[in-house]
Amino acid sequence: MKSMRKILENRAAVVCLVFLSAWIFLALAAPFLPLHPPDHIFTGQQLKPPAWNEGGSWQFPFGTDDLGRDLLSRLVYGSRISLGFGFLCVVVSVLVGGSLGLTAGFFGGWWDRSVLRAMDILMALPSLLLAIVVVAVLGPSLWNALWAVTLVALPGFVRITRASVLAEREKEYVQASRAFGAGRARQMLLTILPNCMAPMIVQASLGFSDGILNMAALGFLGLGAQPPTAEWGVMLADSKAFMESAGWLVTWPGLCILSVVLSFNLLGDGLRDAFDPKL
């Protein structure tokens, strides 16, 4: 509760939380909003500038792309992919990374050593390179990009969970629960795990931003979501050819990525400050 209050006192974190909630609402409500379908091609309406520019109209508030698709609608539908797949990436890495880290820290021994070693190897390859290797094996697609990005995120979750389990494992309350005859599963899941949540929540927030950024990067390289999917990275890659005449196609998807990633980072920072006052 104390940390809840500290979060609410952090103005930047609150602003980010509100901003992200708005994005999540847009993403969920997209099919019910009065938007053009994101893939609908309006013939004869190619490369229309945004409404506030000369030649723009409120029919397409943010303008249209080179094929005549409504940019606003594509941006909103793009958030479904970025936020949705970012969410999936975090959920899978929390579940898999969390269980690996929890068991490694709790049991120690050869299991701990093998898990750590495997994570060392994954971390020896820089994130984007590792993601590219995975995509190369599985083939470029949105879902394969998700697996790639999740594998990249895994070591961070494993290490953070393991470290906090190690810190908690020998504390008195855990010894007490052991003395009262708690089994291993009970000690791990009910005694230790709840006390390791703080760093995991921070990591999840930062993992969100990494996941979204890496997914967009893969999309941009042509190794993630494929056209005509409305995905922010793919939209940026498409905009390259028209950037001289249609700058808005470059500006908006990029601002979407930046604002969402920045918000998750700020939120993560705020959460860390709230949980760990000494930093």
Partner 1 sequence: MGSFLVKRILHALPTLFGVSVIAFLLIRLIPGDPVLLMVGERGASPERIAEMRANLGLDLPLWEQYVRFVGNALQGDLGESVFSRRPVWSEFADRFPATLELSLIALAWSVLIGIPLGVLAAIKRRRWPDHVLMSASLVGYSMPIFWWGLVLILFFSVRLGWTPVSGRMSAAFDVEPFTGFFLIDVWIRGLGWAGFKDALAHLILPALVLGTIPVAAIARMTRSSLLEVLREDYVRTAKAKGLSFFQIVFVHALSNALIPVVTVIGLMLGTLLTGAVLTETLFSWPGVGRWLVTSVQARDYPVLQGGVLLLAVIIVVVNTFVDVLYMWLNPRLRGNLQ
The residues of the shown chain that bind partner 1, judged by CB under 8 A, are 117-118, 120-121, 124-129, 132-133, 135-138, 140, 209, 213, 216-217, 220-223, 233, 236, 239-240, 243-244, 247, 250-251, 253-254, 257-258, 261-262, 265-266, 269
C-beta closer to partner 1: residue 120 or 171: 120
C-beta closer to partner 1: residue 12 or 190: 12
Round to whole Å and give the CA distance between 92 and 144: 14
C-beta closer to partner 1: residue 192 or 216: 216
Round to whole Å and give the CA distance between 24 and 260: 10
Round to whole Å and give the CA distance between 268 and 55: 42
Q: What is the DSSP string of 164-194?
A: HHHHHHTSHHHHHHHHTT--HHHIIIIIIGG
Identify how many contiguous H helices and E strands the chain contains and give both numbers: 11, 0
Q: How many CA atoms lie within 13 A of 190 on its CB side?
A: 8
**Strands of 95-223, DSSP E:** none
Q: How far is the CB of 166 from partner 1 (least distance, A)?
A: 19
C-beta closer to partner 1: residue 56 or 247: 247
Q: How far is the CB of 44 from partner 1 (least distance, A)?
A: 26
Q: How far is the CB of 145 from partner 1 (least distance, A)?
A: 12
C-beta closer to partner 1: residue 120 or 194: 120
CB of 71 within 8 A of CB of 157?
Answer: no
Round to whole Å and give the CA distance between 201 and 199: 5
For tokens 């609402």, what's the residue?
25
Q: How far is the CB of 233 from partner 1 (least distance, A)?
A: 8
C-beta closer to partner 1: residue 188 or 236: 236
Reading the block at residue 250, the tokens are 């470059």
Q: Which long-range contacts (C-beta less than 8 Å, at least 24 apart) are formed by 247-255?
A: 248/49, 248/50, 248/53, 248/62, 248/63, 248/71, 249/63, 249/65, 249/66, 249/71, 252/62, 252/71, 252/75, 253/75, 253/78
For tokens 């808005």, what's the residue?
248
Q: How far is the CB of 115 from partner 1 (least distance, A)?
A: 13
Q: How far is the CB of 124 from partner 1 (least distance, A)?
A: 5
Q: How far is the CB of 102 from partner 1 (least distance, A)?
A: 23
C-beta closer to partner 1: residue 95 or 129: 129
Q: How far is the CB of 155 from partner 1 (least distance, A)?
A: 13
C-beta closer to partner 1: residue 93 or 239: 239
Largest Cα separation within the chain, whole Å, is 77
